[in-house]
Amino acid sequence: MAAAVPLFFAGGYLAYLTMDKGLEIFIGLAPGDTTVLVGVQDYLGYAQAMLFIFGLTFELPLFVVVLNMAGVLTHERIRKSRRMLWFGVFVFAAIATPSQDPFTMLALALPTIVLFEIAELIAYVHDRRLAARPDEYEGLSDDEASPLDIEAIDAELEKGGGRAR
């Protein structure tokens, strides 16, 4: 939550900054002799979609970090799939932005790419830290039981009021 809320608000703030330019480009596509009337419902729907899409998109790199911390996604896999990830981000940004102009697409895609690179760096540091940690189960065969520290378990149970045996 400490990272999710600020990331969502950062995405919403970026959407707020780019909304006017995106709407200006979108309205500018109309022929010169027509008057474009944007209703309140249409504008609020556009603004809501922009804020929601940008906010959720800024959460995706956090999802990658969580998967890495859980051991599901390694830095090596992220590094190998970087090209597809970048392509996917640009395709998603082109489809997800409601105004369909290149400015808004780039305003969503480029910061997302930067956030994904930061997530990859965090995954790299986390994987290196895990690799440096000694494995206490190394040398055990598959059918050998892992060592248990009975005294530590008894001490924890006594501290909590439970009984070990």
Whether 101 is in a domain gets the answer yes
Q: What's the total number of domains in the chain? A: 1
Q: What's the confidence (pLDDT) of residue 27?
A: 76
Contacts of 4 (CB under 8 A, 6+ apart): 59, 62
Q: What's the confidence (pLDDT) of residue 116?
A: 94
| Per-position DSSP letters for 21-81, written without gaps between them | HHHHHHHHTS-TT------HHHHHHHHHHHHHHHHHHTTHHHHHHHHHHTTSS-HHHHHHT
Whether 62 is in a domain gets the answer yes
Whether 143 is in a domain gets the answer no
Whether 148 is in a domain gets the answer no
161 backbone φψ class: left, alpha, beta (φ>0; ψ -120 to 50): left
Whether 16 is in a domain gets the answer yes
HSE (CB half, 13 Å, CA atoms) of 133?
A: 9
Q: What's the confidence (pLDDT) of residue 155?
A: 80
Instruction: For helices 82-96 and 40-57, give the axis angle rounded to 10 degrees.
Output: 170
Whether 69 is in a domain gets the answer yes
Whether 145 is in a domain gets the answer no
Each residue's pLDDT, cut to its tens digit, for the chain (165 residues) gives 888 999 999 999 998 988 888 777 777 777 878 777 778 888 888 889 889 999 999 999 999 999 999 989 899 999 999 999 999 999 999 998 877 778 888 999 999 999 999 999 999 999 999 888 777 767 777 777 766 777 877 787 887 765 544
Let me know the angle formed at the C-alpha of 72 by 81 and 87, rounded to the nearest 5 degrees.
20
Whether 127 is in a domain gets the answer yes
Residue 107 dihedral angles phi and psi, to the nearest 5°? -65, -25
- Rounded CA gap, 100 and 25, in Å? 10
Task: Tell me if 60 sits within 8 A of 112, measured CB to CB.
Answer: yes
Range of the domain at 45: 4-134
